[in-house]
Structure 1
Amino acid sequence: MTVTSPFTAVVPAAGVGKRMGASLPKQYLTLDGRTVLEHTLDRLLGHPAIARIIVATAEHDSWFPALAVARHPRVLRVAGGRERADSVHNALARVETEFVLVHDAARPCLHPADLDAVLAAGRLGDGAILACRVRDSMKRGDGRGAILESVSREELWHALTPQCFATVLLRQALAGALAAGCEITDEASAMEWAGHRPRLVEGRADNIKITRPEDLGLAGFFLQQRIESEQ
């Protein structure tokens, strides 16, 4: 892939990961001898178009400074916020490149081909996100544990990361959505609120987000498969 304009990657990493039930944030759990965050940052540092990575951590995070990658010349740490959107907003203030991508700290299985694809699409129009088509039957609950209705999975997608946009557009959209009190589930939702229509780039299903305890083992399996395929 040939990219003429470098990108900045923003990695919000201020969350505590309550659903993991661990004694430390999920991004600092060990996966194949290294932290989840180290695996994630390595994936991004390995791409020649990414000029800088801005990691937004909790203000009193004592784990990040202990990582070797924290001293990498292309890695900058900034203070995160109360919510993911606040962390991304803080990081965007330090972005100097024309384009920016945002990637979850707990997605260590990003494939290089998917990263290439979303970077290429993100430079066009309203930006782009990695996504995966919904494969299972979809049900809407009634709030009391019973099925209210079945929902067609036609044109339903799971939103993944990275999500890539023109820096100015994302900065404006996110600031506006935050000021309006809009619920921001990801960067694309802020862009949608501002009237943009980001492109869906179909990515691999193994680009999982580590959220629950069983995800850690699954991510380890995917990483091992990747290592074996590259040998």
Structure 2
Amino acid sequence: MADPIFSVVIVTAAPTGMAAEAGGAFVKIDGREVLLRSVELFLNRDNVKQIQVVFEQDFLEEGRKKYGGHFGFSGVKVIGGGPRWIDQLAVAAGKISDEATHVLVHDAARPAVSYLDIESIMDAANKHPVATLATPLRSPLIEVDEGGAALAYHSPQKFMHIVTPQVFAKDKFRELLKDKQDFHASQFTLCKGSPLNVRCGGGGDVTLVKAMLHMLPKPKIKAPLSPFDEAQW
């Protein structure tokens, strides 16, 4: 089986149920927007054919002016979609490169992803039509009613955090988006990821996300064998 070739879709809308945290992608950490850090996770990869960043349609022109210089240099495309996560996936689905065999979806507000997790989820694309990173819960949960009153305890072993990146076979991605409905959980194969992969929901999360970024494992860079080897490059 040939190795997957990815079209990467970076979504700036908040995931379903998190509409109040839609601005996290535009928060700055050490002077650089979370969005830019998230895009950089997928640059300079031989198996990535295309990167699309999806803004809300009302923000598209402003987004192009603000980030066009950064993205244009790297070949990243900017497109406009609706305010919902599923709307932005749908508009990107119509612009996937013919050369891509798979789609990788990533939340623009998640810059702290280990390179090991990215490699793991990309490898999963060869084995499963739909797969997502997921991280374990560390504490018991308590269910509440609409007024916030406690109803029941739940064991953390029964739940996981669904995070991104997520990968899809291209045809499966388009099939799932036909009705613009959120994907059912049973569609996903879960790949355990690092708990460092936290979401920036706004300015209040900067310190946490910054700490996670500093804790990420660094890819190993092969050192030159000798000064002569280094000089050849």
TM-score normalised over the length of structure 1: 0.82
Letter in 2 for 1:202: K
Counterpart position of 1:187: none
**Which protein is bigger by CA-based radius of gyration?**
2
Q: Percent identity?
A: 24
- The aligned residue for residue 82 of structure 1 is 83
> Aligned residues, how many?
213
**1:1-231 alignment runs, 5 A limit:** 4-14=3-13, 19=20, 25-61=23-59, 62-67=62-67, 68-96=69-97, 97-176=100-179, 178=180, 182=181, 184=182, 190=183, 192=185, 197-226=187-216
Q: Structure 1 pair 191/71, CA: closer, same or farther in 2 (3 Å)? A: same
Deviation at 1:48, TM superposition (A): 2.8
Taking only aligned residues, the RMSD between alpha carbons, in angstroms, comes to 2.6
Instruction: Check the 8 A contact 1:28/1:63 in 2, yes or no.
Output: no
For residue 132 of structure 1, report the CA deviation from its aligned partner.
0.6
Task: Kindly provide the amino acid, as one letter, of the partner of residue 89 in structure 1.
Answer: A
TM superposition shift of 1:102: 0.3
1:140 maps to a residue whose letter is E
- Give the partner amino acid of 1:72: F
Give the C-alpha shift of residue 199 in structure 1: 1.2
Q: CA deviation at 1:227?
A: 8.2
Cα separation, 1, equivalents of 2:27 and 2:92? 23
Distance 1:8 1:91 in 2: 10
- Aligned-partner residue type, residue 193 of structure 2: G
Structure 1: stretches of 5+ with no match in the other structure: 185-189
How far has the Cα of 1:191 moved from its partner? 5.2
Please give the per-residue CA displacement for 1:86-145, whole angstroms capped at 9, x wherever unaligned: 011100111121100100000011111000000111222332100011221011112222
Q: Distance in 1 between matches of 2:216 and 2:121?
A: 20
Say if 1:56 and 1:87, in contact at 8 Å, map to a contact too.
yes
Gaps of at least 5 residues in structure 2 are 222-233
Q: Distance in 1 between matches of 2:58 and 2:83?
A: 13
